[in-house]
Amino acid sequence: MGTAVDAANKETNGSLLDEKKVTVVFVLGGPGSGKGTQCANIVQHFGFTHLSAGDLLRAEIKSGSENGTMIQNMINEGKIVPSEVTIKLLQRAMRESGNNKFLIDGFPRNEENRAAFEAVTKIEPEFVLFFDCSEEEMERRLLSRNQGREDDNIETIRKRFKVFLESSLPVVEYYNVKGKVRKIDAAKPIEEVFEAVKAIFTSKDEKGKTKHSRVHWCGIL
């Protein structure tokens, strides 16, 4: 019997988008920070393809493929889906998109994800778009939205926020040291947030590279 990694590998042979210069932007932020809304705006205005690691895993499970069954079994057993499995799904989606500019949303979730992504794809992100928002504001947003999500209760929200701080912030800090973090004040109204996002992507397009500025962490915790 194979593993989820074996099943993923069978579906993704060859290197990723060999002929193209691939631009990857990691999009990170706590639950309720507004990543999804802003990703949709970036797709519309700047022609990126938006890839959500969580959505790809759910779609693979729903497809009923061998790989999807393996993933579902691992989740049912309380196991963590290996980074390589998620990365292979991302690679396949990138190839199938026909694009060469990607927003990868909610991944890497931790340092192991990050190291595996770079090792497997040989791609470093152009930058990390980090949506900085207080826990209080994210709680307010998640509790007030009406999406029928069972995980939008105060206890679960706080657990998700704690996981984000412990697992994902080290990824942000790693890229911050490399001058690759672009921090957005995500507590502002949607329109103002997108104006800040647009300035980052416009600067990238005009100059061929983004400005390098280190993020100071005094207000995040």
Residue 42 lies in a domain: yes
**Domain residues for 112?**
4-9+24-207
Note whether 104 and 51 are within 8 A (CB).
yes
What pLDDT digit, counting tens, does each position of 12-68 carry? 444 445 545 899 999 998 888 888 889 999 999 999 999 998 899 999 999 999 989
Note whether 210 and 126 are within 8 A (CB).
yes
| 101-105 and 127-132 strand pairing | unpaired
What backbone phi and psi angles, to 5 degrees, belong to 193?
A: -60, -45
Residue 212 DSSP symbol: P
Binding site per annotation, positions for a ribonucleoside 5'-phosphate? 58, 79-81, 106-109, 149, 160
Q: Work out the mean pLDDT of the chain and round it to a whole number.
A: 81
Residue 41 lies in a domain: yes
CATH number, domain with residue 114: 3.40.50.300
* 91 pLDDT above the threshold of 70: yes
Tokens 């194979």 -> residue: 2
Binding site per annotation, positions for CMP? 113
Residue 218 lies in a domain: no
- Domains of the chain: total: 1
In the beta sheet, which residues pair with residue 131?
Answer: 29, 184
Residue 16 lies in a domain: no
* CB neighbours of residue 202 within 10 Å: 12
Pairwise CA distance, residues 33 & 141, whole Å: 8
Note whether 51 and 90 are within 8 A (CB).
yes
Long-range contact pairs involving 114-123 (C-beta distance under 8 Å, separation at least 24): 114/171, 114/174, 116/83, 116/84, 116/87, 117/83, 117/87, 117/90, 120/84, 120/87, 120/88, 120/91, 121/16, 121/87, 121/90, 121/91, 122/15, 122/16, 123/16, 123/22, 123/24
In the beta sheet, which residues pair with residue 26?
Answer: 104, 128
* 211 pLDDT above the threshold of 50: no
Binding site per annotation, positions for ATP? 32-37, 145, 188
More confident: 206 or 19: 206
Residue 212 lies in a domain: no
Residue 214 lies in a domain: no
Answering whether pTM is above 0.85, one says: no
What pLDDT digit, counting tens, does each position of 155-197 carry? 777 887 888 888 888 999 999 999 999 999 988 989 999 999 9
Residue 172 lies in a domain: yes
The model's confidence at residue 95, banded by pLDDT at 50, 70 and 90, is very high
Pairwise CA distance, residues 155 & 159, whole Å: 6
Binding site per annotation, positions? 32-37, 58, 79-81, 106-109, 113, 145, 149, 160, 188
